[in-house]
Each structure stands twice: as C-alpha cells, then as structure tokens.
C-alpha cells in the first residue's frame, strides 16, 4: 500500500510454499538457504527437512504424564485442594510472590513431577509451626525465599499502597519463613537472582526427584 516492499524472513521447509514466497513482491530472506547449505557442507550430512522435529513426541506415555502433571499443578496452585497433597511428589512452600507458581508449572511441564504449592500466610508465620495441611507431608516440602526489597517491588506492581507490599511486611514474612525452614529442616533456595530453570534444577538435585523425560 505504501509502495515499500515488505521484508520476509522465510524459514519454511515445504519447497512448494517457499517457491510461492520467492515469487512474491516482498524482499525475501531465505534462512534455510542462507544457513542450511553451509551447515550441510561443514557437517558432511544432508538435512532431513523434517518439520517440527524438535517438538515431536517420542514417548506417548511420558508426554501424557507431563500433561497430567501440569493439570495437577494448576489445580493445586496457591494452596488449592489441600486434600490432594497425597498425590504430590513435591510441595513448594513460600511467601506470596516468591516464585512458587512458575516453578511448579515449569517442573510439571519439563519433568512431569507432580507439584503443589502452598503460600505461607501471616497466621502460618506467626505461630512458627509447619502449617497443618502440610504437617503430614514434611518430607515433600521445599521452600522458596526471596530478597525482601525485590519482593516489595514485585508486590507493589500487583497491589500498590497496600500493607502487603510494604518493605517492613516483606521483611517480616521472609524472615519468619526462613526461620521456619531452618527450624524444621526444610531445604530451600533463594529465588531472587535465579532463573526458573536454575531453581528447578537445584530442586531436582536436592530432592533426588528424577521426573519423566520427553
């Protein structure tokens, strides 16, 4: 419409579709032709031109297990359905916004581990005991902690001008949570500067959970 040719980055494998794109009026950058041929020469092999190979399901049973694990993580997020903790292989514990939900979902999707997560409330932190719903599953618990200043920033984005987001409240919650972890020998990790992948890897190493490969 404006007389300028659109730029097209082409990663299409199907040769018929690629020919249609090449005959268009756009400026085409053929990624496959640019990089694939030199790679074939360097490696001494030819591409199979298989679509979606990196995402293929090689083990249907493991794939289904991971989907079931994701559904479990969603159903048992943030203290929901505490009556199903007997099915959990791991229960993540920590104050609100310490990274429990994304870590649970990552572990479920990538490893097939059944993960629930439980948020520590003021009542839990005040009495200094393992919350009643978790008492019977102490061997499944793993804690997440976080720098109070970082926590306050995250909470402020979600709920500004609330006691929940104040630095003093965040300091109190983190301090009490760590006291609980240490008192009852609950392993934990600081999520402040760690990626979800790093947190998940550490948890798997510390707990010995193996998960289900793809």
Of all helices (H) and strands (E), which one includes residue 177?
Answer: helix 167-183
- Note the pLDDT tens digit of each residue in 160-172: 999 999 999 999 9
> Any idea which residue has 């609950």 for tokens?
186
CATH 3.40.50 location in the chain: 60-207
Minimal CA–CA distance to 162: which of 176, 152, 177, 148? 152
* 52 confidence band (pLDDT: 50, 70, 90): low
pLDDT of residue 111: 94
Architecture in CATH for domain 60-207: 3-Layer(aba) Sandwich (3.40)
Q: Among the residues of 31-111, which ranges form H helices?
A: 31, 37-43, 60-75, 100-111
The pTM score is 0.74
Alpha-carbon span 160 to 154, nearest angstrom: 10
Q: Supply angle C-alpha 153, 118, 172, rounded to 5.
A: 45
């Amino acid at each position: 419409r404006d007389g300028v040719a659109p730029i097209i980055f082409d990663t299409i494998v199907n040769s018929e579709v690629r020919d249609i794109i090449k005959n268009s009026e756009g400026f085409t950058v053929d990624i496959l032709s640019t990089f694939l041929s030199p790679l074939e020469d360097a490696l001494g092999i030819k591409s199979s031109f298989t679509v979606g190979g990196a995402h293929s399901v090689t083990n249907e049973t493991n794939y289904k297990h991971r989907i079931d694990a994701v559904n479990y993580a969603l159903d048992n997020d943030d203290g929901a359905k505490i009556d199903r903790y007997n099915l959990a292989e791991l229960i993540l514990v920590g104050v609100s916004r310490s990274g429990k939900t994304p870590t649970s979902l990552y572990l479920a999707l990538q490893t097939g581990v059944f993960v629930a997560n439980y948020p520590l409330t003021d009542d839990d932190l005040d009495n200094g005991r393992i919350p009643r719903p978790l008492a019977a599953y102490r061997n499944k618990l793993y804690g997440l902690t976080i720098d109070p200043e970082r926590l306050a920033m995250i909470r402020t984005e979600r709920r500004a001008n609330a006691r929940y987001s104040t630095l003093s409240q965040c300091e109190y919650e983190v301090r009490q949570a760590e006291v609980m972890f240490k008192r009852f020998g609950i392993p934990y990790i600081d999520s402040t500067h760690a990626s979800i992948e790093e947190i998940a890897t550490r948890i798997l190493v510390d707990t010995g959970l193996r998960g289900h490969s793809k």
